[in-house]
Amino acid sequence: MLTSVFLSACENNDVRLNDLAPAPLPGQAVSLQTHVQPIFDNNCAFAGCHAGGGAQLGMSLESAHIFTDVVGIASIEVPTLLRIEPGRSDRSYLVNKIEGTQAQAGGGGDQMPPGGPFLSAEEILRIRDWIDQGALDN
């Protein structure tokens, strides 16, 4: 019940990645700061969701907290999966949440961001590529 109160406070401001940063060039590494963080900043990392002291499930997607709260950290909903497993987007629970496949992974809750609009296929692919390239702090 408490979760629904917090989730109702989440609000997606519907800024799309294509308006914020260029796609990486073919063969170029996907950069957290240039290509992925804008997705988190505009869809996830704000008060009442995944930012600040009250970040949902203790998971802040703010750039200063990605490596303390998310990368290499066990998921609370599915403890057998990491929130982000470097090199393995297929085993990263965050990917399940943004794709809406969390139930298939043994988790629950809603697809993120709650109530949509959901991330585009291009945005999800960019996050997956960053994870598959090692989820580097770049």
In a domain, 2, yes or no: no
**Does residue 22 register a pLDDT over 90?**
no
The residue whose two tokens read 């907290």 is 65
In a domain, 80, yes or no: yes
Of 78, 80, 91, the closest CA to residue 131 belongs to 91
Counting the structural domains of the chain, the total is 1
Using CA atoms of 113, 74, 131, 58 in order, give the dihedral in degrees to the nearest 10: 40
In a domain, 113, yes or no: yes
Residue 39 near residue 127 (C-beta atoms within 8 A): yes
In a domain, 114, yes or no: yes
Q: Looking at residues 42-71, what average pLDDT do you find?
A: 94
Backbone region of residue 93 per phi and psi (left: phi > 0; alpha: psi in -120 to 50; beta: other values): alpha
Angle, CA 30 vertex, CA 26 and CA 33 arms, to 5°? 140
In a domain, 20, yes or no: no
Q: What is the pTM of this model?
A: 0.85
In a domain, 8, yes or no: no
- Which domain covers residue 69, as residue numbers? 30-132
More confident residue, 32 or 27: 32
pLDDT in tens, 93-114: 999 999 999 999 999 999 999 9
In a domain, 6, yes or no: no
Residue 70 near residue 83 (C-beta atoms within 8 A): yes
> What is the spatial distance between Cα 57 and Cα 17, in angstroms, rounded to a whole number?
25
What b/e sequence results for 3-25 when a residue is b if at least 16 CB atoms lie within 10 Å of its CB, and e otherwise? eeeebeebebeeeebeeebeebe
